[in-house]
Amino acid sequence: MLFGHRGADVIYAGAGNDKAFGGIGNDSVAGAAGDDVLNGGGGRDQRSGVRSGTTFSGVVLATI
Residues sharing a CB contact under 8 Å with residue 1, sequence separation 6 or more, in sequence order: 7, 9, 10, 11, 14, 63, 64
Asked if 64 contacts 3 with a C-beta cutoff of 8 angstroms, the reply is yes
Per-residue pLDDT tens digits of the chain, which is 64 residues long: 455 545 555 455 555 555 555 444 455 445 444 455 455 544 555 455 444 455 455 555 555 5
